[in-house]
Chains A and B, each alone.
Chain A
Amino acid sequence: MLSLTALVFLPLVGMLVCWLLPSKHARVVNIVFSALVLLLSVALWAQMDVGAAGYQFEQTASWLPGIVSEEGIQYHVGLDGLGLSLVLLTAFVTLVSAIASWKIEKQAKGYHMMFLLLLTGMLGVFVALDLFLFYVFWEIMLLPMYFLIGIWGGPRRQYAAIKFFLYTLFGSVLLLAGVILVVLKTGSWSIPEITAQAQAALAAGEAGGILGSTGLCLAAFIGMFIGFAVKVPCFPFHTWLPDAHVEAPTPISMILAGVLLKMGGYGLIRIAYPFFPQAAVDSGLVISILSTIAIVYGAFVAMAQTDFKRMIAYSSVSHMGFVTLGLAAGTAWGINGAMYMMLAHGTISAMLFMIVGVIYDRAHHREIAKFGGLAWVMPKYFILASIAFFASLGLPGGSGFIAEITTFVGAFNGPHRIWAIISLLGVVLTAAYYLRTLAKVFLLDTPEVYKDAAKFPDLSAREYAILVPLALVTIYMGIVPATAMDMVKGFVEGTLVPMLGQAAGGAGQ
């Protein structure tokens, strides 16, 4: 039972159950299967040797042999600590989002089936070890997302959904081009095997890397980087995100921010960087600059927003800038910090979007300026919102602090020191827009409208069940950071950092 295949396809079973049962049971099925997925991933975690190098629970089946190589395309899945951390994040955020989906009434059956399909896609991306399989999951996840935004979204859902779909597809095409190039040149679809080839090329001092040509490597890296960067999203490929976030229903915003954005970062860490270490090192400066722009510019734009949800969306742009900043540094602190930022941002941003959702459900608007004094009418809500805000702005005790500091220290001690210093500005700006929002929404006078306790009740039990676990994980990750950091270290320090170090050393000679 304890296999990755079971994990990945369990939601599909749920989908089937959903389809067979009457519509009113769909939400229960969703929660049950999301919970099962979480249980299964925790069981895998318990069974796993987290610190060990290489992949565990590997499963291989022949799928389309003879394409390019003898084995051809395989059904090949496996898990290491890095993948595990993201699988756990996915399962956890999905479960709380499933609970948050309780009140979806419009075509409930369709919604929950899409939701479960999405879960399969996301899990698949994090366990796939075959490039083709990876790509298939990558695309599978796109479709339900399109419908979830396009059908269950806000007023401008059509525009947002199409924009999201086309933008990501544009990224996917570049990614696909990169994948084809890699596969044709290396003769393998296997991610670990191609990584090994890249390592061998580095060890042999071949500047051409796996493609046999520096220029080609750079081109393929740029293609893949853009493909993943759209998802992250990196400046200037980020404008789909505010639209998608604002239009998506609350649970889908939570998944978008909590998990989907991480797929971009995962792709960079697992595929683009290890395949083309030389090109990655050579583009370090450009990526650092783009990251710094994302951090500072994203924070400024967030500051200028009047819509609560849009403000949170831009804060994601700003925070995800840390991920690429840490990566570009190529140091262990930097990349571990970047990975930690992904995990921290996963729970914190899900929490933030839920917090927006709570008040939108009650007030039916999201204008920051129209709120005020909510702390005095909804004190428990205020406490949880404060936890999310302060964790996001990087206060110790929350996971964001660990992520920011390790990333900064790593980025600063990498080759692009000056950009790390400039990006520090983001820390002050982030505090500025969060505290401003906190004051305008929660503090000061309460306008009469919000004093009606019947219309503005404090958190319900269901909302608690969503926000409290998110808050607990955020705080746990801030106080016992080693648990999550130890998961990602194996791949980062065992594989990626030495490769980037070797590549950088080569460039220096």
Chain B
Amino acid sequence: MSDATLQLLCLTVLAAPLVGFVLQYTVGRRLGARGAWMTVFAIGVSLACSLLIGYEAFQGGAEFSKQFGPWTWLEPGDIEPGVAAEWTIGMRLDGLTAVMLVVVTLVSFLVHVFSTAYMKGDAKYGLFFAWLQMFSFSMLVLVLADNLLHLFMGWELVGLCSYKLIGFWSEKPAPCAAARKAFLTTRIGDLGMMVAICVIGGAVGSFEFERIFTAVANGAIDDTWLMIAGLGLFVAAAGKSAQLPLHVWLPDAMEGPTPVSALIHAATMVAAGVYLIGRMAPMLTPDVMTVVATVGAMTALVAGLIAVAQNDIKRVLAYSTVSQLGYMFLGLGVGAWHAGLFHLTTHAFFKALMFLGSGSVIHGCHHEQDMRKMGGLRKKMPVTAVTFLVGVLAIAGVPWITSGFYSKDGILSGAYGVSPVLFWMGLAGAVLTAFYMMRLYVMTFEGEPRDRHVYDHAHESPKVMTWPLILLAVLTVVIGPLAWHNIMLAPPTGVEPAAAWATIQSLEQEHAHAGTVMWLAIAAGVGGLLLGWLVFHAKRDLLATLKRPFGALEEACANKFWFDELYDVVLIKPAFAMAAMYRWFDEHVVDALVNRAGRSGLQTADASAAHDRGVVDGLVRFVGNACQGLGGVFSALQSGRVRLYLSLSVGVLALALLLEALL
């Protein structure tokens, strides 16, 4: 395939959902199902092109790397004296991008199809698809970007779309608040990105990835600022990908329609942060890498603990995403670059599967989300149950047959060689993951129905919803062994290895500890599943016994470790208090000073007037009379007789012009 064809394909990938958005927003939203299928077609075109690109990249192997552009977009001149920097746009295509393209368009395509049925009957049915298109477009802009500013534009648009879609039902308070929370929390992260952009722009004079990496390798950025830029990027990634302590928005984002959750959790939003760290890895210093890994491991553990104590089916999945994203960061941070990004792909499929599965459950149970009211649903919705089980097994990392096994194993073995502490944290997280996922599955699909009413009315979802589930289940199984042996996921080539890059492990290094780690990982995953099965299904009396020593921990988990409450006290309330205080200051100090100055001017005038009247005589009276006369003229003006004033001003101007002409 020639470069021109590839470029055309990339442009089509972008253009299809954009055109879809415009058409759907303007016309299609009134066309009901026809409009919706038009958007499905648009994202289908994107998917087809992505698959072609993916195939080409697969053929190209590790060396595959193309750049289209850069095209100058804006030239704001020198960034600092003598260093001109342009704002360009352009596309970069390598293995990483190709993988992301396929993942994003595939998941998005299935979510579109699923939504045609799921959203049926919603008053804003058409609008929903318009924003799905925009969401996909924004994410595709982000992954195709060849420079940081271009990427940032996609990044911010993703934020807008998440706001619109999480708050899709914003006539209700909860979605409205959740959407705002998501936007603001990620925007706090964006500050980090802006700092990074500023540092890089100034030091490198360009925002293009290649040039940044080369400059870093050449030591163009001094160490402190390089670290700050790296940390900034990580803060941005932590915001979008819901890492501690910026994870609070993701569970609330459940308020959006379930297909949106699937999209956010698998392809379009949280993946952005991981992608960013993966893309920028060559410029991250070892210190930053350590931070990434540590925060990731902590997030994996904490979110896993919280997930165990949640009862809303979507909330469990949400915390599970937070936890899995933690894994990805752990992987990237310890230098298991391939495994971290591979986990992003495998997770995208099985998490989309489980979210759509939960959507199917919610749909079938008439918008019931509380697992305590479910149970035994396997009999009512067999397809959903079986496909969901595939997802559970995959996320638990059941060996050899599921994709989750391959990616998680890679991360753990990468961590093993770097830090035992991080490794054991990751392993503990793996046990937790298997445990709460089994709990979720058992509570929903197995055992006796706990709520007769819900159970009696439950039904399997229509074909258009189950087909995406089946397809995702198949993908979840096959992608592991299939993708593991390829070489698409290769670090950027053409880059001199910088000091930072040295921390990235090669594939061989990642696998150095595969033997020991693999058995430990298998034990963790299968053990967690069995424990979950025992405690929540087979031997339910065990649960009470187990709970006793963990009372306080359960309390903390159920309350999500009080992060929201903490932020309310230390951030939100103080911000509003500060706002109120500043407003008071503005009115009672700054403006009061202005008014005081005005008044004292008047007082001085009065005082001098009085003085004049008392002391000076005839001349003053004359002046006074004159003033009175003038005052009369002016008050006549102020009485609102504008015409008089206008005549005057026109007259004066005419005089001036006349004067000009004469001279």
Chain A interface (Cβ < 8 Å from any Cβ of B)? 12, 15-16, 19, 61-65, 75, 107, 109-111, 113-114, 117, 143, 147, 150-151, 163, 166-167, 236, 238-240, 297, 300-301, 303-305, 331-333, 336-337, 373, 375-376, 390, 395-397, 401-402, 405-406, 408-410, 412-414, 420-421, 424-425, 427-429, 431-432, 435-436, 439, 443-445, 481-482, 485, 489, 492-493, 497, 501
Contact between A167 and B594 (Cβ–Cβ < 8 Å)? Answer: yes
Contact between B77 and A408 (Cβ–Cβ < 8 Å)? Answer: no
Contact between A395 and B157 (Cβ–Cβ < 8 Å)? Answer: yes
Would you give the shortest CB distance from A215 to chain B, in whole angstroms? 26
Contact between A428 and B187 (Cβ–Cβ < 8 Å)? Answer: yes
Q: Which A residues lie within 8 Å of B172 (CB)?
A: 444
Of all chain A residues, the one with the shortest Cβ separation from B181 is A435
Selected contact of B640 from candidates A107, A297, A444, A482, CB within 8 Å: A107
- 12 A-B pairs with CB atoms under 8 Å apart are A151-B640, A303-B576, A304-B576, A305-B583, A332-B76, A396-B153, A406-B76, A408-B198, A409-B197, A410-B76, A428-B187, A432-B184
Q: Which A residues lie within 8 Å of B544 (CB)?
A: none
Contact between B80 and A331 (Cβ–Cβ < 8 Å)? Answer: yes
Contact between A485 and B75 (Cβ–Cβ < 8 Å)? Answer: yes
Stretch at the interface among B444-452, B483-491, B493-501, B643-651: B643-651
Given A114-B642, A337-B76, A408-B198, A444 and B170 contact (CB-CB distance below 8 Å) = yes
Would you give the shortest CB distance from A102 to chain B, in whole angstroms? 19
> Is B469 at the interface (CB under 8 A from chain A)?
no
Of all chain B residues, the one with the shortest Cβ separation from A150 is B638
Stretch at the interface among B188-196, B310-318, B369-377, B505-513: B188-196
Of all chain A residues, the one with the shortest Cβ separation from B200 is A409
Would you give the shortest CB distance from B76 to chain A, in whole angstroms? 4
Contact between A413 and B653 (Cβ–Cβ < 8 Å)? Answer: no
Contact between A444 and B578 (Cβ–Cβ < 8 Å)? Answer: no
Q: Which A residues lie within 8 Å of B171 (CB)?
A: 373, 376, 443-445
How many chain B residues touch the partner (CB < 8 A)?
A: 64
Contact between A63 and B582 (Cβ–Cβ < 8 Å)? Answer: no
Q: Which A residues lie within 8 Å of B78 (CB)?
A: 331-333, 493, 497
Interface string of B573-601 (1 = CB under 8 A from A): 00110111011001000110010001000
> Is B42 at the interface (CB under 8 A from chain A)?
no
Would you give the shortest CB distance from B66 to chain A, in whole angstroms? 24
Q: Which A residues lie within 8 Å of B152 (CB)?
A: 396, 405
Q: Which A residues lie within 8 Å of B167 (CB)?
A: 443
Contact between A300 and B578 (Cβ–Cβ < 8 Å)? Answer: yes
Of all chain A residues, the one with the shortest Cβ separation from B601 is A166
Would you give the shortest CB distance from B187 to chain A, in whole angstroms? 5
> Is B658 at the interface (CB under 8 A from chain A)?
no
Q: How far does the alpha carbon of A481 sit from the alpha carbon of B188 in the complex, in Å?
A: 26
Q: How far does the alpha carbon of A409 sit from the alpha carbon of B643 in the complex, in Å?
A: 51
Among B164-202, those with CB < 8 Å from A are 167, 170-173, 176-177, 180, 183-184, 187-188, 190-191, 194-195, 197-199, 201-202
Q: Which B residues lie within 8 Å of A402 (CB)?
A: 74
Q: Which B residues lie within 8 Å of A332 (CB)?
A: 76-79
Task: Give me the 9 closest cross-chain CB pairs, A-B, nearest first.
Answer: A332-B77, A110-B642, A412-B198, A413-B202, A304-B583, A304-B579, A239-B591, A396-B153, A303-B579
> Is B549 at the interface (CB under 8 A from chain A)?
no
Of all chain A residues, the one with the shortest Cβ separation from B578 is A300
Q: How far does the alpha carbon of A184 sit from the alpha carbon of B70 in the complex, in Å?
A: 52
Selected contact of B642 from candidates A151, A238, A409, CB within 8 Å: A151
Of all chain B residues, the one with the shortest Cβ separation from A394 is B156
Q: Which A residues lie within 8 Å of B191 (CB)?
A: 424-425, 427-428
Of all chain A residues, the one with the shortest Cβ separation from B173 is A444
> Is B4 at the interface (CB under 8 A from chain A)?
no
Would you give the shortest CB distance from A307 to chain B, in whole angstroms? 11
Contact between B646 and A107 (Cβ–Cβ < 8 Å)? Answer: no
Contact between B76 and A444 (Cβ–Cβ < 8 Å)? Answer: no
Q: Which A residues lie within 8 Å of B177 (CB)?
A: 439
Contact between B180 and A439 (Cβ–Cβ < 8 Å)? Answer: yes
Given A117-B649, A332-B79, A397-B157, A62 and B663 contact (CB-CB distance below 8 Å) = yes
Selected contact of A432 from candidates B74, B76, B575, CB within 8 Å: B575
Q: Helix, strand, loop or mixed for chain B's interface?
A: helix
Contact between B197 and A405 (Cβ–Cβ < 8 Å)? Answer: yes
Contact between B183 and A443 (Cβ–Cβ < 8 Å)? Answer: no
Q: Which A residues lie within 8 Å of B582 (CB)?
A: 297, 300-301, 304
Q: Which B residues lie within 8 Å of A489 (CB)?
A: 75-77
In the complex, besides A300-B578, A482-B73, 19 extra interface pairs with C-beta distance below 8 angstroms are A15-B646, A15-B650, A62-B663, A107-B640, A110-B646, A111-B642, A150-B638, A300-B582, A303-B579, A304-B582, A331-B81, A333-B201, A395-B160, A420-B198, A421-B195, A428-B184, A428-B188, A431-B183, A436-B180
Looking at A64, A166, A297, which has the most chain B CB atoms within 10 Å of its CB?
A: A297
Q: Which B residues lie within 8 Å of A64 (CB)?
A: 663
Q: How far does the alpha carbon of A303 sit from the alpha carbon of B573 in the complex, in Å?
A: 13
Of all chain A residues, the one with the shortest Cβ separation from B203 is A413
Contact between A435 and B79 (Cβ–Cβ < 8 Å)? Answer: no
Of all chain B residues, the one with the shortest Cβ separation from A297 is B582
Interface string of B95-129 (1 = CB under 8 A from A): 00000000000000000000000000000000000
Q: How far does the alpha carbon of A113 sit from the alpha carbon of B653 in the complex, in Å?
A: 14
Given A333-B85, A444-B171, A413 and B650 contact (CB-CB distance below 8 Å) = no
Given A19-B646, A63-B660, A405 and B80 contact (CB-CB distance below 8 Å) = no
Q: Which A residues lie within 8 Å of B156 (CB)?
A: 395-396, 401
Q: Which B residues lie within 8 Å of A401 (CB)?
A: 153, 156
Looking at A75, A107, A435, which has the most chain B CB atoms within 10 Å of its CB?
A: A435
Selected contact of A485 from candidates B74, B183, B197, B579, CB within 8 Å: B74
Interface string of B627-663 (1 = CB under 8 A from A): 0000000000010101101100110010000011001
Selected contact of B194 from candidates A143, A240, A427, CB within 8 Å: A427
Q: Which B residues lie within 8 Å of A75 (CB)?
A: 660
Would you give the shortest CB distance from B109 to chain A, in whole angstroms? 24
Q: Which B residues lie within 8 Å of A239 (CB)?
A: 586, 590-591, 594
Would you give the shortest CB distance from B84 to chain A, in whole angstroms? 8
Contact between A300 and B594 (Cβ–Cβ < 8 Å)? Answer: no
Contact between B79 and A331 (Cβ–Cβ < 8 Å)? Answer: yes
Would you give the shortest CB distance from A149 to chain B, in whole angstroms? 13
Q: How far does the alpha carbon of A240 sit from the alpha carbon of B77 in the complex, in Å?
A: 35
